[in-house]
Amino acid sequence: MKDKPDMGKQDFPHRDRDAATPAKGLLERASDIFDFSGALKGQGLPPLAVPPELIPPPPVFSPPAAQTDVPASAARPRAADWGGPVQAIDRAVLAENGFLVPGAPISGLAEEFRIVKRELQAALRAEGEARADGKLVLVASAHPGDGKTFCAINLALSLAAESAVEVLLVDGDVAKPDAPRLLGLQTGKGLLDALADPAVRIEDCVIRTDVPGLAVLPAGAGSTSDTEYLASARMGELIAALISGRPERIVIIDSAPLLAASAGSILATHVDLTLLVVRADRTSETALRDAAELLNGCRNVQLMLNGVKFSASGRRFGTYYGREG
């Protein structure tokens, strides 16, 4: 068993569970600490320096097409079921690395991610209640070591506990893929293989797990053209193949660090919401501003706090130890 380092440096406010106002989650507390709205919108902080030639033109709206009587099922093709192998998640590996363990007693960490997933689901509903497709969420960070993989895996495990929800965890950190290994899974073909070869069906690359509702898509074999593949039209086709006509599906993409590789900012243009993981004892406001600037392509960005130690008491969730990822 690895020692659990105390990653938190200060106690942050946490509302009593029995107070009239609901307890704040890691998303809300991050917003209390960082002036994130200012970083994204230029309020409270100097405006982000975006060259005029990079500012997109205003959208051109066309009149809506005439309604037809074509059934919705015919208008929206339904994404296929996962066709990859079934593997068992290694609970011992999860426990050793400090992750949530399916079937284990409820812990303070589990309670924290319950709050996060409730806030996430509410945000996704606000993005489009009646949308017939699945939802895509990117989990990113400014730098390596801020805890994005730790948060992405725990969020996927927590969401998979919901009934009538299918969760797909995608290893989008194509330069340094690590999520399947941390789950104790053996990888084969993955996202990059399907991007490079149209004959590879993306649903056949998905690993089904013994945790009901949870599947994993490995990064696949890397090349010198990974970024170009992620930015290609083929990427949009694969996303459609994963979520089209499947409103019950939530795809969680573990991204490369935004300030370390360009893949994260490219993936952000495809998703409904980005969770930007910030390390309470490490992420600087400058790094946050720089990361926010790279997320201009994502219409909904929220902060997620990591690396915080809460005072242990009966009214709080205990101690949350951050993890690198």
% of the chain with per-residue pLDDT over 70: 70
Helix then strand then coil, in percent of the chain rounded to 5, is: 30, 15, 55
User: Mapping DSSP to helix (H, G, I), strand (E, B) and coil, where does residue 277 land?
Assistant: strand
In the chain, domain spans: 26-39+85-306
Q: How far apart are CA 77 and CA 112, in angstroms?
A: 36
Which has the minimum average pLDDT: 8-17, 50-59, 75-84, 94-103?
8-17
* Residue 143 confidence (pLDDT): 93
Tens digits of residue pLDDT in 26-59 = 555 555 555 555 555 433 333 333 333 433 444 4
- Whole-model pTM? 0.76
Strands 207-209 and 214-217: antiparallel
Mean predicted confidence (pLDDT) in 253-278:
93
Rounded percentage of the chain residues whose pLDDT exceeds 90: 51
> Rounded distance, CA 216 to CA 205, Å?
9
How far does the chain reach from its first CA to its final CA, in angstroms? 18
Measured CA distances, 236 to 9, 105, 169, 203, 310 (Å): 42, 40, 17, 14, 41
pLDDT at position 6: 37
User: Which CATH number, 3.30.530.20, 3.90.79.10, 3.40.50.300, 3.40.50.720, labels domain 26-39+85-306?
Assistant: 3.40.50.300
Q: Convert the pLDDT of each residue in 228-264 to its tens digit.
A: 999 999 999 999 999 999 999 999 999 999 999 889 9
Q: How confident is the model at residue 25 (pLDDT cuts 50, 70, 90)?
A: low
Mean pLDDT of 187-199: 95
pLDDT-derived band at 16 (thresholds 50, 70, 90) equals very low
**The pLDDT value given to residue 24:** 56
